[in-house]
Amino acid sequence: MPRASLRGHTIHYQQVGQGPDVVLIHGLFCNIAFWWFRVAPKLAEKHRVTALDLRGHGFSAMSNGGYRAVDLADDVVALMAHLGIEKAHLIGHSFGGAVALAVAVKHADQVECLTLADAWVPSLQTMPPLNDSAAWAKLQARLRKRGIVVDGEPPRVAQGFLEEMLDAEDEGEPVAGGDGAGAFAGMQVSSAGQRPTRAMRRWRELMERTSANSQFRDPAGLDLDHIRAVERPVDLIYGARSRYLTSRDGLAEALPNAHPVEIPNAGHYFPLLRPEALLSAVATGVKSMPPSGTKKRKEHSVD
């Protein structure tokens, strides 16, 4: 597993493919695996794809601080420099979208364009609660009907993923299977009688022993004035059922070259559960956007 010592900190990353650079940035309680089974291989057919584990996630080191979007953006830029990536298309999911946006704010010359996939931006929307016992009780009942028992109460971000998987199954929606969503779920949540997964143990340590919980919510360096200054083309790709449409609407209003795209019948985790929808939007989106300063295009949907 390749690792780089950057700014006194160890960051784990992976690369695949050749061509123009694409950098993939995951969200909270996730890691490189979020992209690696379906999205990265397809993008690698025409691009050099780099994915990293954010600080405190996956196999990257954990520090006491440095978890604001602007801090993690500096980690991304340091990795790009280490790998000789002069300019890249950044794709960020959830809080990873805020990190990608912060890279564009601080290092615009290193950003070709942005794809923000269901991004949550702290200055535009309050962070949902990390735990919700009432919602977990209802979800547990749905899981038990499928013979699935999970020990303990996973963080709300993991619960949201499980909810979306069950919703998709109930409605007969196609879902990326065994080597994608299923494998990711297995890594994130342990079944009854099993030791908590490494991801769960690290998340608890991150929340309890570092300043991450408060710093994730810190909008420093990514307020509306900073966002308005981003002139790079930006695709705003959101699920129609997303919990983060407030962030989308704020970004669509603030960004001069925003291009909203809505994925019907999809929630927050559509890049994992329906990767073809993300890939379709990426393939047809930012490359055809108008140059900076021209009129925004109307929102459209991707089936």
Q: Would you identify the CATH topology of the domain 3-127+214-301?
A: Rossmann fold (3.40.50)
Res 178 pLDDT > 60: no
- Around Cβ 221, how many Cβ atoms within 10 Å? 15
**Residue pLDDT, tens place only, 234-260:** 999 999 999 999 999 999 999 999 999
pLDDT confidence band for 267 (50 / 70 / 90): very high
Q: Cβ(195)–Cβ(94) under 8 Å?
A: no
What pLDDT, on a 0 to 100 scale, did the predictor assign at position 290? Answer: 44
For 62-120, write each residue's pLDDT tens digit: 999 999 999 999 999 999 999 999 999 999 999 999 999 999 999 999 999 999 999 99
DSSP-derived 3-state class of residue 18: coil
Are 93 and 118 in contact, with CB atoms under 8 Å apart? yes
SS3 for 282?
helix
Nearest to 33 by CA among 2, 58, 67, 61: 58
> What pLDDT was estimated at residue 183?
66
Domain boundaries in the chain?
A: 3-127+214-301, 133-210
- Residue 1's identity, in one-letter code, is M
pLDDT of residue 168: 74
Q: What is the pLDDT of residue 291?
A: 44
Long-range contacts of 141-149 (CB under 8 A, 24+ apart): 142/166, 148/191, 149/191, 149/192
| Tokens linked to 287 | 């490359």
| DSSP secondary structure string for all residues of 218-271 | --TT-SHHHHHT--S-EEEEEETT-S-HHHHHHHHHH-TTEEEEEETT--TTHH
Residues 133 and 251: their CA atoms lie apart, in Å, by: 31
Q: Which of 131, 202, 125, 123 is nearest to 160 (CA)?
A: 131
Distance CA(100)–CA(34), nearest Å, equals 16
Residue owning tokens 């010592």: 5
pLDDT tens digits for range 35-58? 999 999 999 999 999 999 999 999
